[in-house]
């Protein structure tokens, strides 16, 4: 695969993840976040299993790895989507995206706790800068919260879930293809959500007559945000590596902010714009060591 095409695919996958916040907001006008998550995972699971079957890429999970797969799916998509969707239903799409974008900042601290990987000063600096940017966004000039505190709590639940997910995912990626992991995790996530969906939204769901826009956006979420974007990202990781690929996630909040302005008429004050830029700068700074690692690795390979 040509290198230029890989970078184009990376931007496309970030585009789908960025606009997924807008698609979700549109679906929330008719369905609850819980129903949205459940239907999104059903669409994604059906699409992915059909894709796996037609391409002959069926890969069974070995017995000794099933508990790890269940634990991994519990963190993502189950807990992650609950945090992200309920948070998104209570705060703006751009703020949701920018909070979720801080995940790479926290991962090194989790790696230190679980794997004793060394924390660099740049990681701590990136964390401080990111929180400074978030402070500008979520607090007004009078130091009052300008965002729903419950929504913020849900979004940080999503961040925490994603961090633990990255820990559990580490052992699975050594044995299975990303497509296999995503397919099974989405199925397990839908099963986890089923009893909650039936208990809380089961009766009301059958009384709702969805608009065409609602159905279209649900299909877009299931196919493009929860399926195609992940499949594309798997190819990107294969050709660029995990480190380079993760750098592209920094542009997701940019896409979301643009789409929020045009499709949701979201207002962006100068304070909010500065805050978003500061958060993104903090995330990028926390990954500078990774960029240096790539540069040094290439330099050594050329010298050898």
Bridge partners, residue 139, by sequence? 145
Residues with Cβ within 8 Å of 57's Cβ and at least 6 positions away in sequence, in order, are 177, 179, 180
**Which tens digit of pLDDT belongs to each residue from 53-66?**
898 877 889 999 99
Q: Cα–Cα distance between 173 and 192 in angstroms, integer?
A: 22
Whether residue 254 is predicted with pLDDT greater than 60 in this model: the reply is yes
Helix, strand, coil abundance in the chain, percent, nearest 5: 85, 0, 15
Beta-carbon count within 10 A of 207 CB: 6
Above pLDDT 70, what percent of the chain? 87
Instruction: Assign 205 a pLDDT band (cuts: 50, 70, 90).
Output: very high
Q: Which residues of 63-91 are buried (b: 16+ CB within 10 A; e: fewer)?
A: eeeeebbbebbbbbbbbbbbbbbbbbbbb
Instruction: Give the pLDDT of residue 55.
Output: 86
Instruction: Give the pLDDT of residue 297.
Output: 47
86 CB-side CA count, 13 A: 18
Whether residue 300 is predicted with pLDDT greater than 50 in this model: the reply is no
Q: Round the average pLDDT of the chain to a whole number and report it.
A: 85
Instruction: Assign 43 a pLDDT band (cuts: 50, 70, 90).
Output: very high
Instruction: Give the pLDDT of residue 72.
Output: 92
Element (H, E) at 101: none
175 CB-side CA count, 13 A: 15
Beta-carbon count within 10 A of 123 CB: 23
Instruction: Assign 280 a pLDDT band (cuts: 50, 70, 90).
Output: confident
What is the average pLDDT across 167-187? 85
CB 154 within 8 A of CB 76: no
Beta-carbon count within 10 A of 238 CB: 14
- Whether the bond between 120 and the residue before it is cis, its omega within 30 degrees of 0, is no
Q: Specify the 3-state DSSP secondary structure of 265.
A: coil
Residues with Cβ within 8 Å of 185's Cβ and at least 6 positions away in sequence, in order, are 69, 72, 73, 76, 77
Concatenated DSSP letters for 193-262?
HHHHIIIIIHHHHTT----HHHHHHHHHIIIIIIIIHHHHHHHHHHHH-HHHHHHGGGGHHHHHHHHHHH
**Which tens digit of pLDDT belongs to each residue from 79-122?**
999 999 999 999 999 999 999 888 877 877 777 777 676 777 87
* Mean pLDDT lowest among 73-77, 240-244, 275-279, 290-294: 290-294
Instruction: Give the pLDDT of residue 291.
Output: 53
């Amino acid at each position: 695969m040509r290198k230029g095409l890989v970078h184009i695919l990376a931007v496309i996958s970030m585009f789908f993840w960025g606009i997924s916040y807008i698609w979700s907001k549109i679906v929330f006008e008719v369905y609850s976040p819980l129903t949205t998550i459940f239907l999104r995972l059903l669409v994604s699971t059906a699409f992915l299993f059909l894709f796996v079957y037609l391409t002959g890429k069926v890969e069974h999970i070995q017995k000794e790895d099933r508990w790890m797969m269940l634990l991994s799916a519990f963190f993502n998509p189950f807990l992650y989507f609950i945090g992200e969707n309920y948070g998104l239903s209570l705060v703006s799409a751009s703020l949701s995206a920018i909070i979720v974008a801080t995940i790479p900042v926290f991962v090194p601290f989790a790696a230190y706790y679980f794997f004793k990987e060394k924390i660099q000063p740049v990681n701590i600096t990136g964390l401080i800068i990111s929180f400074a940017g978030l402070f500008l966004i979520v607090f007004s000039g009078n130091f009052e919260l300008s965002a729903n505190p419950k929504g913020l709590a849900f979004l940080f639940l999503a961040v925490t879930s994603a961090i633990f997910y990255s820990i559990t995912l580490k052992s699975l990626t050594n044995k299975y293809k990303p497509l296999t992991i995503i397919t099974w995790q989405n199925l397990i996530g839908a099963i986890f959500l089923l009893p909650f969906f039936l208990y809380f939204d089961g009766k009301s769901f059958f009384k709702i007559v969805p608009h065409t826009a609602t159905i279209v956006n649900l299909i877009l979420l299931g196919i493009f945000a929860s399926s195609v974007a992940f499949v594309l990202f798997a190819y990107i990781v294969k050709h660029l590596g995990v480190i380079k690929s993760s750098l592209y996630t920094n542009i997701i909040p940019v896409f979301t902010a643009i789409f929020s302005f045009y499709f949701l008429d979201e207002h962006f004050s100068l304070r909010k714009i500065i805050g978003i830029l500061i958060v993104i700068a903090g995330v990028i700074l926390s990954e500078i060591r990774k960029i240096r690692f790539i540069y040094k690795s290439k330099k050594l390979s050329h010298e050898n």
